[in-house]
Amino acid sequence: MNLRQTIIQAMTFAAIVFASTVQATADDAIISTDAYSWRGDTVFQGEFKAWAPSSDRIVSTYHAQPGYYMGIEKEWNRKNDISSYPALKTPNRLHTAIYNLGLDEMVNAVEPDTTLRTGKAWAGVWTRDVSYSIILSMAYMQPLASKISLMKKVNSNGRIIQDTGSGGAWPVSSDRMIWAVAAYELYKVTGERSWLEYIYPVIKNSLLDDLKVIAAENGLVQGETSFIDWREQSYPRWMQTADIYQSQALGTSVVHAQAWKVLSDIAEELGHKDVAKMAIDNHNTIAEAVNRELWMPEKGYYAMYNYGRQFPIVNPRAETLGESLAIIYDVADRQRAREITENNPTTPFGAAIFFPQIADIPPYHNNSLWPWVAAYWAIANAKVGNEVGTLEAIGSIFRPAALFATNKENFVLDNGDIATQLNSSNMLWCLAGNIAVTHKILFGIHFEKNGLEFLPFVPKALAADRSLTNFKYRRAILDINISGYGDKIKSFKLDGKECKPFVNSNLKGHHTVDIVMADNEIPPMKINRTANVKAPLTPIAWITDGRLYWNPIEYINHYIVLRDGERIAETRETSFALDIPGEYQVIGVADDGTESFASEPRSNAYVTVIQMPGESTAFVSTENTYEPTSPVSGYTGNGFVEIDHKSAPVDIDVEVPEDGLYAVSLIYANGNGPVNTENKCAVRTLAVDGRDVAAIIMPQRGEGKWSDWGRSSIVRVPLTAGKHTLSVSFRDENENMNLSTNHALIDRMEVVRIK
């Protein structure tokens, strides 16, 4: 073999080795779970795949289950001009295409009136949707549309609007304060003092109303779990909307804690020292209550919510958004934050909205994954340094974006499909989460009131040279370059000069940021990989002849009996002898230890029933929006008392035989709207002997259903032996979201001694 042949052979061998190396790199999985993998520029899931022929195109072979009502996007091809937005350049074409898909659909989401549309199928601005989207990325991607959208969610009383929801919106649904967090995020982006002065009274007045109406005696916040607003999707069937108002949710409580922190920061900046102190004290009260009342050390994460009637118990499910927000907003300390990312159950398709699932409820919030929640989960994992958790959370966003060629609303947790109860393409908060993953995690861009802080977190599997050009920040335009991987910065340069990883808010003009990561190995952490699990069905219990009975549940190992919220017995029987008065419930436990919801509380305690003074059977108020179709029936005594904005306080005299803690509730009717929507929840304040004690809530029970009597929320009141006057009155803070209709019928009051 001559020299020339030797050289050619060597060059050929080198080319083969190089090609093999390139192919191996392309074939190495960036992310791989039991459900799907992301390799090179392609996502694979079983027989399906999706890939990016270019940065402006995604092609998918996915097809939905036969007969599904909603079509599947087989391709995405960029339709809009996105050149005015930050441009991503990265060697992974699929990543670039998914990012550009987010930008393309973001342009679609800006309406002609410069508001942010909720989704392709959902017109209009919704408080929680737009707020969570603004926090993720819309504050800086669409500052004007964000501002106008937020302003549309303030009512004529200068309060934040809680959109229509269970039982007539606020205060059953009570997460409206996420508006405050979004509004402050927008201020950090723009630095406009006039915006700060506008949002200050709105946030303060809304929080002060909430402090009187939804603050629980244990320091938590009452009301529905944030964003999970279909009651049967996340609560036991027996719970009425009044019961949901009484529940105390992790996510909603953390939202309120952060809103108080925001108010404190704003008040401090505007020079209102007393308000700043009051607000941070309220933040601390809620944060401490979350850690005291909801932390489950045996599971390593927070409980989803407390629920019940006279004696609340925890629902021990994990709830991913609430867990994420607790980490992001420092309600969880660093140790608990790390534990949450390692213990929150993660299925092959990603972290569920909550876990375990409810067996007899179809997918929507139940048995599902929502990509925008996964974005918050990814940000939370990155914050505590969980590399695998961050990577798989990103994968749970990128997989569906590629396979469905749009930012869909939600996905079935069992199979990753879109066959849920409702779904939409071009979903605002999902596209906002898509964009946020790249900006806030891989480039580490975080907005502070005086500048940009850079905290990149780059899993080794995503190591690459990336650039983000035309990133607009106040009066500056940044071209940002980043290389390497890890959670530590080796070099940070602004216009070629080494400096701290921070860009001051007074920067003007066009500048270049160069970041070199340290290529450090991130200390390993685990994640709790699990198959999807369905909890046992909820027992139905009743009391007869001194015993508690319940229906048998299939595939159950044993039952737990509770009295006054405490576990007192385990049994394989379906009845239990009652020897002490109290409030009783039953929980079913499967072989693997998964627990059902507790049954509806049943009490054998003595109830004092008090009829309302001045009862009649005639409607006189003009506030009732749905007239009864037949005469009102089902009441006790001589009729009912009608209450509206103009009615005088209802004073009820009661005599109690001994000192103790008493549960007070009203039996009422509210036919001003359906159970699941509108905004006419009746809200009043209960006073004892002239002293306001707590709000008492009477949600809607159905259009025109004035003979459908239900129980209001329960107020626990300490009473001394003897006579007392209990008053049901309207206060300014009782104004609901409708403003015109705050109306109900009251049949009677019930008082039970519980301690």
Q: What DSSP letter does each residue of 695-735 carry, written as one string?
A: EEEE---STT-TT--EE---EEEEE-SEEEEEEEE--GGG-
Q: What is the pLDDT of residue 60?
A: 95
One-character DSSP codes across 567-628: EEEEESSSEEE--S-SEEEEEEE-TTSPBPPPPPPEE-S-EEEEEPTT-BS----S--SS--
Q: What is the pLDDT of residue 670?
A: 98
Q: What does the alpha-carbon distance between residue 569 and residue 115 come to, in Å, rounded to a whole number?
A: 56
Domain extents in the chain: 3-32, 123-342, 539-596, 607-753
For residue 521, the 8-state DSSP code is P
* Bridge pairing between strands 534-535 and 357-358: parallel
Torsion (CA) 502, 503, 506, 512 in degrees, nearest 10: 160
Which contiguous run of DSSP H or E holds residue 380?
helix 371-384
Tokens of 306: 């407390």
Q: What does the alpha-carbon distance between residue 39 and residue 29 come to, in Å, rounded to a whole number?
A: 5
Strand 313-315's sheet: what is its strand order? Answer: 248-249, 305-307, 313-315
Q: What does the alpha-carbon distance between residue 632 and residue 706 come to, in Å, rounded to a whole number?
A: 6
What single letter denotes the amino acid at residue 451?
G
**CATH 2.60.40.10 corresponds to the domain 539-596:** yes
Q: What is the pLDDT of residue 130?
A: 98
Mapped onto helix, strand or coil, the DSSP state of residue 183 is: helix
The size of the chain, in residues, is 755
Q: Domain spanning 123-342: which CATH class is it, in words?
A: mainly alpha
Side-chain half-sphere CA neighbours of 428 within 13 A = 30
Q: Which residues of the chain have pLDDT under 70?
A: 1-27, 65-71
Q: What is the pLDDT of residue 71?
A: 61
Burial of 472 (0-12, 13-18, 19+ CB in 10 A): middle
Q: What does the alpha-carbon distance between residue 102 and residue 309 come to, in Å, rounded to a whole number?
A: 44
Which contiguous run of DSSP H or E holds residue 531?
none
- Per-residue pLDDT reduced to its tens digit, 190-242: 999 999 999 999 999 999 999 999 999 999 999 999 999 988 999 999 999 99
Q: What does the alpha-carbon distance between residue 670 and residue 540 come to, in Å, rounded to a whole number?
A: 26
Beta strands in 484-572 (DSSP E): 489-494, 497-498, 502-504, 509-517, 528-529, 534-535, 541-544, 547-550, 558-563, 566-571
Q: Which residues partner with 116 through β-bridges?
A: 110
Q: What does the alpha-carbon distance between residue 227 and residue 725 come to, in Å, rounded to a whole number?
A: 39
Q: What does the alpha-carbon distance between residue 672 and residue 170 come to, in Å, rounded to a whole number?
A: 15
Q: What does the alpha-carbon distance between residue 416 and residue 404 come to, in Å, rounded to a whole number?
A: 11
Identify whether the C-beta of residue 98 lies closer than 8 Å to the C-beta of residue 434: yes
CA distances to 457, 563, 568, 584, 689 from 580, rounded to whole Å, are 57, 9, 12, 10, 31
Identify whether the C-beta of residue 115 lies closer than 8 Å to the C-beta of residue 415: no
Name the CATH superfamily housing domain 607-753: Galactose-binding domain-like (2.60.120.260)
pTM of the model: 0.95
Q: What is the pLDDT of residue 182?
A: 98
Question: What are the phi and psi torsion angles at 474 (to 5°)?
Answer: 50, -110
Q: What is the pLDDT of residue 17?
A: 31
- Cα-to-chain-centroid distance, residue 281: 24
Identify whether the C-beta of residue 112 lies closer than 8 Å to the C-beta of residue 495: no
